[in-house]
């Protein structure tokens, strides 16, 4: 029966993650499909180019929120009286929360509402981590924004921020460091590791452009006629 609970968790996480907030917000602020502007992506960076800083901030917050909500739903499901009656332990509950966050990232990346296309999952990665271990999310997410804004390359900030979040979790878990709360569960470390690897892999085209000096900056003026909607948004 635990498998049924996990199946429900995966489905909820995936559907929540599939909500394309960047696309919705872009249309609300500009009346246009942001996939036809600038890089053709629907993530915070292209939303900012197309619709401004307020729209970008809202897009990021909502992408974080949908993953956070998925993790909270998993916690509620695996804390229910029924879950307790079948012997669900705290480790199983923590594992379900990590699975929910990964499912949300999967939904964001391969959204059922966008013909299984989507974004790169950075905001959803940070949002899920915020519920599981907010300390690492604050450090990793803060560094992501700091580097992205200072260098003008959000892809660089995203990769460094995700890797930093993993390093923080791993260090705190191994050394049993308690920073404003208990040290993180090991399954959260695994989540951060998988998430950091995923974010690096899905940004591999950005990494190539960074080395070639052709990567787009976050303050780059948008250009119409970007890639078609079928292209993978971020």
Average pLDDT for 44-48: 84
Q: Give residue 21's Cα distance to chain centre.
A: 12
Per-residue confidence (pLDDT) for residue 229, from 0 to 100: 42
Average pLDDT for 214-229: 66
pLDDT score of 222 more than 70: no
**For residue 92, how many other CB atoms are within 10 A of its CB?**
17
Whether the Cβ atoms of residue 148 and residue 156 lie closer than 8 Å to each other: yes
Residue 173 maps to a domain: yes
The CA–CA distances, whole Å, from 155 to 80, 110, 184 equal 39, 19, 27
Average pLDDT for 146-170: 95
Q: What is the count of structural domains for the chain? A: 1
User: pLDDT confidence of 119, banded at 50, 70, 90?
Assistant: confident
Residue 188 maps to a domain: yes
Q: Please give the mean pLDDT across all residues of the chain.
A: 90
Residue 152 maps to a domain: yes
Average pLDDT for 213-219: 86
Residue 158 maps to a domain: yes
User: pLDDT confidence of 1, banded at 50, 70, 90?
Assistant: confident
Strand partners, 111: 117
Q: Is the pTM of this model over 0.85?
A: yes
Residue 40 maps to a domain: yes
- Provide the domain limits for residue 77: 2-212
Residue 54 maps to a domain: yes
**156 is written with which tokens?**
């660089």
Average pLDDT for 147-172: 95
Per-residue confidence (pLDDT) for residue 173, from 0 to 100: 92
Helix 44-51 vs helix 21-30: angle between axes, to the nearest 10 degrees? 0
Residue 220 maps to a domain: no
Greatest CA separation for the chain: 58
pLDDT score of 149 more than 70: yes
> How large is the C-alpha radius of gyration of the chain?
18
Average pLDDT for 45-51: 83
232 or 188, which is more confident? 188
User: pLDDT confidence of 117, banded at 50, 70, 90?
Assistant: confident
222 or 197, which is more confident? 197
Residue 140 maps to a domain: yes
User: pLDDT confidence of 230, banded at 50, 70, 90?
Assistant: very low
User: pLDDT confidence of 176, banded at 50, 70, 90?
Assistant: confident
pLDDT score of 38 more than 80: no
């Amino acid at each position: 029966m635990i498998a049924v609970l996990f199946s429900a968790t995966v489905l909820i996480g995936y559907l929540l993650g599939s909500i394309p907030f960047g696309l919705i917000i872009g249309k609300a602020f500009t009346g246009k499909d942001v996939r036809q502007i600038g890089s053709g992506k629907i993530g915070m960076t292209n939303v900012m180019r197309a619709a401004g800083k307020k729209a970008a901030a809202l897009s990021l917050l909502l992408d974080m929120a949908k993953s956070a909500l998925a993790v909270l739903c998993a916690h509620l499901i695996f804390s229910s009286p029924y879950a307790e009656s079948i012997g669900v332990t705290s480790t199983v509950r923590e594992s379900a929360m990590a699975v929910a966050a990964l499912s949300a990232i999967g939904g964001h990346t391969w959204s059922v509402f966008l013909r299984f296309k989507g974004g790169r999952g950075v905001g959803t990665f940070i949002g899920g981590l915020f519920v599981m271990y907010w300390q690492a999310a604050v450090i990793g997410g803060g560094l992501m924004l700091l580097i992205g804004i200072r260098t003008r390359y959000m892809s660089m900030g995203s990769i460094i921020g995700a890797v930093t979040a993993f390093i923080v979790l791993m260090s705190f878990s191994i050394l049993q460091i308690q920073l404003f709360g208990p040290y993180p569960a090991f399954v959260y470390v695994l989540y951060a590791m998988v998430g950091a690897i995923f974010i690096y892999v899905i940004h591999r085209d950005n990494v190539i452009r960074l080395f070639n000096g052709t990567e787009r900056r976050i303050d780059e003026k948008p250009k119409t006629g970007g890639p078609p909607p079928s292209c993978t948004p971020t």
